[in-house]
Structure 1
Amino acid sequence: MKNDISIYRDMKMLNDENFILWCLNPTKELDRHWRTWVEEHPDQTAIMERTKETVLSIRLNEDKMPEDERRQLQARILHDIRKNKNNI
């Protein structure tokens, strides 16, 4: 059985800004992109689903946070993802 760290290493999509956006705020364009991705990578579907569940499990409760604060936080998170991506 894999340890917790190796499971997250398999979830490379956590570093993909478009994937995070799709999980948090899906659009028709992003849905189309990820449906195509699944068709091209059927062996990665289970990992993608686990990764999506992980992202959604840490999703903020929008009912308690004002929209402007939520957007600022989302922007900071995406900024950090980009910054970390560039440092890899």
Structure 2
Amino acid sequence: MTLPSVTLAWIALLGLSAATVLVTTGGTGHFSPALFGGLLLLLAFIKARIILSRYLGLWQAPAWLSGFSWVIGFFCLLLLVLYVAPGLSP
């Protein structure tokens, strides 16, 4: 018996949420602020891709999934730059 893709997506989201909790409980005490922000945004990006792909059914429309992934990726990159930028000023 194989699990439906939505069930596997749900299990993956649970694991990624647990990873997010582990990263945030470690806080910036164990990571540099840039790495901390980058890890959180990477986990958020992966979770967004799973939701778009499996829950919204965009796995059936790869061009749309790719477009949404690019937009979300650029948005996450912009957020990371805005998060790190104040620490770069002299």
TM range (shorter): 0.3 to 0.5
Between structures 1 and 2, the one with greater helix share: 2
* Higher relative contact order (Cα pairs below 8 Å, separated by 6+ residues): 1
Which has the greater radius of gyration?
2
Relative to the length of structure 1, the TM-score reads: 0.36
